[in-house]
Amino acid sequence: MTTTVRPPVAKVAGIYAALVSAYFLSEFFRISHAVIAPDLMRELSISPEGLSVLTSAFFLAFAVVQIPNGVLFDRYGPRRTMPCFILLAAGGVAVFALAPTAPWLSIGRMLMGAGCSIIFMGGLVTLARWVPTDRFALAVSALITVGAIGNLFATSPWAALVERLGWRWAIGGFGILAVLVAGLVYAVVRDAPEGHPYLQRQPETILEGLRGALAVVAIRDWRYLFAMNFVSYAVVITVLSLWAAPYLYDVHGLNTIERGNVLLVMTICMAVGNLGAGPLDRLLNTRKNIVSFGGVCTSSVHIILAFVPGLALWQITTLFALLGLFGGLIVINLAHARAILPDHLVGRGMVTMALAAFAGSAFTQIATGIIVGLFPLEADKVAEVAYRAAFAFIGATTLAATVYHRRVTDARPSDDHARVHT
């Protein structure tokens, strides 16, 4: 049964602010290397395949650590687990900042990914207990939009800071900030409002936790939502965090600041898409169709990038902007997943969605790295045709997942509202 507890607005606002602070760091860390990727490749002799491994290390660790996260959430709560993991991320930042070689950079990225793995899902699980189900999509889209300032900072402002301080000193400062945010989360966040069933629960055994995970997988529509989440985040983040900056450098000759400016446009549009998605599902009273629309549009952008050679810089910028905008709509897939979950499976259920998103991102980054590596370099730069092949792969997989997702039963917000108020 869905809870109808209405907590004080001020309390929710304070928790929200702490969650946003943590999510800012997670968003920043996952793409903080993107703008400076060409510089890292030159300084540490990293190949395109090596860059894909470096990028995917964060997402792979993020995905693997999701496996125990659901049990941790439901047994210990986000308030205690999130600060510990954020401190782990801070340790990863220190390793990255001091890394003498590419393998050490990857180790730092893995620790950062493992540490950040709990932040977004911790926010989702916390909000699922503090916010009514019929307003969950709006709450999540607002969290993503405000937290995505981290993405925005990782573009032009980050490029300027790196130019001034150097990337090692600049990233080290964010490690210190992570320690402060860990303390803030522990001080402010609470796992559930007073009177919520979560507070009266009996802690589950490991066996019961595994049974809960199997119960999530047994839900018929889960397979379609899982498949869509496997590609829906990857379709955007693989470009934003991996290939956009090298592409802009190799094909269009953009410097660090100029690359940051293009990525800034893309991340702003992604934030707009996320923000618009929240009220859109209630306005149109559908979740399935919004996700399908976002999937078709993002796939189409990649198909254009793949099959139209010689695009001008303004055309590339526009396509990247559209990719961010339409990719932001697919956040509704998370609201769809929440709508079909009973309260006692929220932790495990939302964690499996994170597992899908980040495992899919790691897979896509490694796969496209292999594809790009199949093409010979031209004057020590990756050829445009190699990037186009990678875009074609992403577009095809996204389209396939979108078609498969069409089998899911829609979960309409009007049904949530009726269930909450009965």
**Where residue 70 sits, what CATH number does that domain have?**
1.20.1250.20
Token reading at 151: 């993405």
pLDDT (tens digit, 9 = 90+) per residue, 260-280? Answer: 899 999 988 988 887 777 778
Residue 227, CA atoms < 13 Å, CB-side half-sphere? 18
150, part of any domain: yes
1, part of any domain: no
pLDDT (tens digit, 9 = 90+) per residue, 160-199? Answer: 999 899 899 999 999 999 999 999 999 988 876 776 666 6
In degrees, rounded to 5, the angle at the alpha carbon of residue 142 between the alpha carbons of residues 136 and 146 is 150
Q: How many CB atoms lie within 10 A of CB 29?
A: 27
Domain hosting residue 24, numbered range = 9-190+214-420
276, part of any domain: yes
Number of domains the chain is built from: 1
Token reading at 99: 């890394």
Helix (H), strand (E), coil (C) string for the chain: CCCCCCCCHHHHHHHHHHHHHHHHHHHHHHHCCCCCHHHHHHHHCCCHHHHHHHHHHHHHHHHHHHHHHHHHHHHHCHHHHHHHHHHHHHHHHHHHHHCCCHHHHHHHHHHHHHHHCCHHHHHHHHHHHHCCHHHHHHHHHHHHHHHCHHHHHCCHHHHHHHHHHCHHHHHHHHHHHHHHHHHHHHHHCCCCCCCCHHHHCCCCCHHHHHHHHHHHHCCCCHHHHHHHHHHHCHHHHHHHHHHHHHHHHHHHCCCHHHHHHHHHHHHHHHHHHHHHHHHHHHHHCCCHHHHHHHHHHHHHHHHHHHHCCCCCHHHHHHHHHHHHHHHHHHHHHHHHHHHCCCHHHHHHHHHHHHHHHHHHHHHHHHHHHHHHHCCCCECCECCHHHHHHHHHHHHHHHHHHHHHHCCCCCCCHHHHHHHHCC
206, part of any domain: no
208, part of any domain: no
pLDDT tens-digit profile, the chain (422 residues): 444 456 666 777 788 889 999 999 998 998 888 888 888 888 888 888 888 889 899 989 988 887 777 677 777 888 889 999 999 999 999 999 999 998 999 999 999 999 998 898 788 778 877 777 667 767 777 787 777 788 888 888 998 999 899 899 999 999 999 999 999 999 988 876 776 666 666 666 666 666 767 777 778 888 999 999 999 889 999 999 889 999 999 999 998 889 989 999 998 898 888 777 777 877 888 999 999 999 999 999 999 999 998 899 999 999 999 999 998 887 788 888 888 887 777 767 777 888 888 899 999 999 999 999 999 988 888 999 999 999 999 999 999 999 999 999 998 887 764 444 44
342, part of any domain: yes
195, part of any domain: no
32, part of any domain: yes
Q: How many CB atoms lie within 10 A of CB 284?
A: 14
